[in-house]
Structure 1
Amino acid sequence: MATGAKNLITDVPGLMIGNAEDMAAITGVTVILPDEPAVAAADVRGGGPGTREIDVMDPANLVEQIHGICLSGGSAFGLDAAGGVMSRLEAARRGFPIGGFHVPIVPSAILFDLMNGGDKAWGEDPPYRDLGKKAVDNAAVEFALGNAGAGLGATAGPLKGGLGSASIVLDNAVTVGAIVAANPTGSVVMPDGRTFWAWALEEGDEFGGNPPPAARGQGDVALANTLPGANTTIACVATDATLSKGQAKRVATMAHDGFARAIRPVHTPFDGDTVFALSTAKRPAPDPAGLSQIGAAAADCLARAIARAVWLAEDVGGMRSYRSSVR
């Protein structure tokens, strides 16, 4: 196995990513756009989630495909971003056809970044709907990481969080990728303050090439923010293998292991940790063993993406980045 050519989720054929930021407010939006309607599912494990259109992806429900996935800052205000994404997609006549209308299905999840030093005095006009539109306009196969999109205002324990992505190509040529806005209550580094919990999964020097830790152990983790719902890591994993809604749900469930490999503690009452899984259906459907391999790869990609998000983040709004904190 090896990383994809870009080491981004867009190594999965049929995907684009769009980012948009409000630098004054220190917040942003990321949209995952498949080139065709796509099967997707979600798994929510955090204790303080903020989501939209999650139930539509349940295998028991009618709608079989989605048209985009939106990740946003802004806490509950950020749920408006999906409305902006819908507006842009509807203008392009993309959506679930019903009664002469096209209704874009855009599941979304938000993270908390309201207390990061940005100007949130937006009154009755939060910026998220417009940011959702801009994210669609900016969609491309190449995109920024670190202080970008939904990761702009993110924190990771005591460090600056960010937007991360990674990919892997399996031996059977199936591609798996992940994108994450890393904003956890827990820490992404070991008690030594330097070594990423995900260090053993690193490909090349994608998050600094740090050597193995001198000592290992859980250690005590000081939680940076203990307001209910005050953090949250939100992510999407994707593959070009053809999946059913039930299979996508299994991949989303397995991908949460990537959170546990990169963040400690994880899935706390203060996080709304949510993982979406998406299939672009460019390759044949897997058998159960192949599905297991895709889920395992998704978890590893997600762990790497979390570490990359923090490694590539930069100081902003009084939040110190990993690279400025660790010498």
Structure 2
Amino acid sequence: MSHRAAINALRDYLATVIIGQQHLIERLLIALLADGHLLVEGAPGLAKTKAIKMLAHGLEANFHRIQFTPDLLPADVTGTDIYRPENGTFQFQQGPIFHNLVLADEINRAPAKVQSALLEAMAERQVSVGKQTYSLPELFLVMATQNPIEQEGTYPLPEAQLDRFLLHVLIDYPDAAAERQILQLVRGEAKSHTPAPPSEPVSQATIFAVRQEILDLHMADSVIEYIVQLIQASRHPGQYDQQLAGWIEYGASPRGTIALDRCARTYAWLQGKDFVSPDDVQAVVHDVLRHRLLLSFEAEAEGIRPQQVIDTLISVVPIA
């Protein structure tokens, strides 16, 4: 089976078990193939946990869920040294972060030390305990979730930590047709009629090979310039639009430029294309920049959302 056929089979499998969340499925695959992490925000019960769990079923990978709570400690995530009295030494006990796919459920319910421990592991791909450093698996993806409804007792992620996420995905309730399909699926699962995963789980070697194919995808200089100008417009909005200048306090960092390039390439590859177009950039730009723009007090007072700001960015930046 070719690499593209393997990924398409995985996508088709996810679509049969995750109903009404096509956007989430696509963004999960983008994060996986672009070697990044994603933050998913949505109400409870929208299959966020199930999505990454089913992704692990279709991959040659292991999965662990961490439920973030206010009393969680950094060692509960990373692991810690355990004293062994039989030989008088300390031995490192790996924490749940040492898995290929990790779900950080309700990340904003954990205090800052725990959040920083997780985000350091995400950025550095390693964990330091005492004088020792331990490498995380080569295939490593963190999906963190936030519940936007109930904010009491939460610790909002600072902007600098949000920047570590490749994508920030918003998901909403399914429509009526999808809701009916969900009922049928759940009834079938209760009768042990769970859809079977792909006959051959996608190997890690396939994932790494696809990542190389994505990096080799052709991107014209004009598309590169379009990406750069979108980021520049977020940093110097006054040069493009005065209304935009009143909305944006701080623009995207160079991580935003890199993320937009990687995600546009991956999106184009998933569409079966062998080149990247401005349409591919526009398809992912909202999820890439949503958490990287710091809006002004005036914009927040007017009820302006990042979605509207990014729409305006797209409208004022010309395609080269």
TM-score where L is the length of structure 2: 0.28
Looking at secondary structure, tell me which structure has more helix per residue: 2
Instruction: Return the TM-score normalized by structure 1.
Output: 0.28
